[in-house]
Amino acid sequence: MIAVVSRVRCAKVEVDGKSVGSIGPGLLVLLGVADADEQSDLNYIVSKTAGLRIFTRDDKMNDDVTQVNGQILLVSQFTLLGDARKGRRPDFGAAAKAAKAKQLYERCALAFEQMGIVTQTGQFGADMHVSSVGDGPVTILLDSNKRF
């Protein structure tokens, strides 16, 4: 499982011109689910994301999203699993099939909610327009298989 986590002042996702999710200050999390991912991968991503000390206090990144009452906008993005090492067209063979990816994506959103983090989501499988106002900018890459 791969996540791109950005600290934002605000973020929103639209489908067909209608807002389906929006947040104020917090984290925009783009989530890619791999075919081999399991509950342990989900646990890793949720724990790491919620615990990232990337919010500034006393001129240092000391606080996590829960400490600043931040929100999360979680957006499914299978293209994070694209392998572009050969040729110019990415290979998405490592991405989970839709049913599995949707299940883990929804469980991820629920896990954040259960931690007390206000969580909004995009619309799984839809053509989404995501916009955000970065804060910093601060962007962290997470990989449950620790490839980077």
The pair phi, psi for residue 110, each rounded to 5°, is: -65, -40
112 is catalytic: no
What is the enclosing helix (H) or strand (E) of 119? strand 119-121
77 is catalytic: yes
CB neighbourhood size of 2 (10 A): 24
Q: Which of 61, 50, 72 is nearest to 132 (CA)?
A: 72
Of residues 71, 78, 112, 121, which has the active-site annotation? Answer: 78
Q: How far from chain centre, in Å, is Cα 70?
A: 14
Of residues 49, 77, 120, 121, which has the active-site annotation? Answer: 77
CB–CB of 50/65 below 8 Å? yes
* Dist. CA 121–CA 86, nearest whole Å: 32
Cα dist. 104→35, 45, 130 in Å? 11, 11, 21
55 is catalytic: no
Give the catalytic positions in this structure.
77-79
